[in-house]
Amino acid sequence: MLTPEQREARRQGIGGSDAAAILGLSKWQTPLSVYLEKIGEAEEEDLSANDCIHFGNILEPIVADEYARRTGKEVVIEPDVLIHTKHSWMRANIDRCIKGEDAVLECKTAGTFMKDQWGEEASDNIPDAYLMQCAHYAAVCNVARVDIAVLIGGQEFRIYTYQRNKVLEEKLIERESHFWHEHVLKRVPPPPANPSEAMQLWPREKVETTIAAPEILETIETLRNTKQQIKALQDKAGELQTKIVSQMQEAGMLLDPAGHKLATWKAQKANRFDSSTFKEKEPELYQQYVKTSQHRVLRLASL
């Protein structure tokens, strides 16, 4: 778990977890979210309440100790932020150093549902995001390998190894360097990864019109076709659902001939605030709590 000082130091460069986000491989961050953190326009998201992060932090020393027990190697905490000797913007907050060896240790935890993303033990067949993190750490620390100890599902312990791959690291450094110099230092945001980020970059229109680039004409046609397919699938799903509940009628559960549950159709209650009635009965109070929001809506023109 990073200290406040380490978090501040991370803003001065690119860390191991940033590497995966910059490449679009992180499930936690996007290139734009990393960019906004680096230029100080967004605080690093506090993920301490996230159970995956919370228990990962708690279990890190346990995973490190188990690695030491199984391998007979001594591991020590590196409290400092490490900096690449050539690229001062490349930073590393490693989990452990492996004493007396040209290697460092990364400690991970994974849910059972992630098990298939971890390949043969002792190999580097690990999730891509972690592989990029290891490549980044190997380059910054200038070590021959990175061992990855992972506890899967709380009961299966494995050890993987990333052997120094200079070709991969050169490509990674190239991408990170472009991000740092062309985006962060020049204050040029990277492209948005989703519509929400597009809204964040361009919250309102400032000009009346613009001319579509040739590739956007094809994109619009693809989107139009996609929306039509979604509508057709929704209609089909509605037809199928109606057919199922028409057989169930007043039954709350549908079983197959062997007695296994196939579906349920049960009444459930939901409490909803009646804003229309409240506005009518208490207009002044309603106005006190009304909050106006603004967002842009993309609507394709009819053919």
Token pair 């050169």 is found at 170
Q: Which CATH class is domain 4-194?
A: alpha beta
For 46-97, what is each residue's pLDDT tens digit? 655 677 778 778 899 999 999 999 999 999 999 889 999 999 999 999 999 9
* Pair of tokens at residue 147: 């061992």
Does the pTM of the predicted model rise above 0.75?
yes
What number of other Cβ atoms are within 10 A of residue 87's Cβ? 16
Closest C-alpha among 90, 160, 149 to residue 126: 160
pLDDT at 56: 77
Q: Write out pLDDT tens, residues 92-151.
A: 999 999 999 999 999 999 999 989 999 999 999 999 999 999 999 999 999 999 999 999
Give the whole-angstrom CA distance, residue 283 versus residue 300: 37
pLDDT, tens digit (0-9, with 9 covering 90-100), for 141-184: 999 999 999 999 999 999 999 999 999 999 999 999 999 999 99
Give the three-class secondary structure for 259: coil
**Beta strand spans in 12-113 (E):** 75-76, 82-83, 91-92, 96-98, 103-110
